[in-house]
Amino acid sequence: MNSLIELRNVTKTYHLGDETLKALDNVSFTVNPGEFIAITGPSGSGKSTLANIIGGLDHPDSGSVVVDGNELAHTRDNKLSNYRNHNIGFVFQSFNLQGTNTALENVMLPLVFSHMKNKERKIRAEECLKAVGLADRLMHKPSQLSGGQRQRVAIARALAVNPKIIIADEPTGNLDSARGGEIMKLLSGLNKQGITLLVITHDMNIARTAHRIVDIRDGKIMERRG
């Protein structure tokens, strides 16, 4: 099977004054289409750095990152953002919603990069909010929603572009365990529909529901079976 994501010898170093820190140290791994992978590891081990590089939000210093046949390391920034906008949905721990916009407007936002007309974007955003169980909250602003509902808006926003890959960085980190469980059910449901899912989590109960666990320590990968 052709892999969907392939990292080879990826290194990312941060410089702060005289100090250098290897956030990723010669990381290699592959993800097959349709997989659900949990990325675990202590705070500061490099999980978000890895997710951002896979998602094309950041460049590695060296090594190769091939996503869906595209070599991201050699892709120019505008092409990279174009790729990202059409293929990858991000879900963050802190939701990253626009506070002054309604749920509907938040989900419509990533579609500005598509060729859809405003009306089509609205219909698509409504569909996505419906898919996450928020059909009755379209006009609510983030401050008028619960934490779990905000995270569902963030998932709807990730879904809007019909992505091949969803990358969720601690999607349950700000939720209680019941709400977190609902979010994971939603995400794993999307994976069952064929979306490749990468979930960063501290929670081993969540990690164990993945097909595979990729554990990071000091920027190095230690893989185990899920």
Ligand X SMILES: Nc1ncnc2c1ncn2[C@@H]1O[C@H](COP(=O)(O)OP(=O)(O)OP(=O)(O)O)[C@@H](O)[C@H]1O
Q: How far is the CB of 144 from ligand X (least distance, A)?
A: 28
134 or 216: whose CB is closer to Mg ion? 216
Whole-angstrom Cα distance, residue 139 to residue 126? 11
CA distances from 205 to 152, 177, 180, 182, 226 (A): 20, 10, 11, 13, 11
User: From Mg ion, ligand X, none, which one binds at residue 46 (CB under 5 to 8 Å depending on kind)?
Assistant: ligand X
**Pairwise CA distance, residues 189 & 203, whole Å:** 19
Residues near Mg ion (CB under 5 A) are 48
Q: At closest approach, how far in Å is the CB of 34 from Mg ion? A: 25
> Whose Cβ is closer to Mg ion: residue 173's or residue 181's?
173
- By a kind-dependent CB cut-off of 5 to 8 A, residue 55 interacts, out of ligand X, Mg ion, none, with none
- 172 contact, one of ligand X, Mg ion, none, CB 5-8 Å limit per kind: none
Nearer Cβ to ligand X (5/107): 5
Residues at the contact surface with ligand X, assessed by CB under 6 A: 14, 16, 21, 23, 41, 43-49
Kindly state the smallest distance separating residue 16's Cβ from ligand X, in Å: 5
Helices 147-159 and 118-131 pack at an angle, to 10 degrees, of: 130
Tell me the Cα Rg of the chain: 17
Element (H, E) at 64: strand 62-67
Six-digit token string for 28: 């290699």
Q: Which is nearer to ligand X, 37 or 111 (CB)?
A: 37
Q: How far apart are CA 140 and CA 134, in angstroms?
A: 10
Query: Least distance to ligand X from the beta carbon of 172, Å?
Result: 13
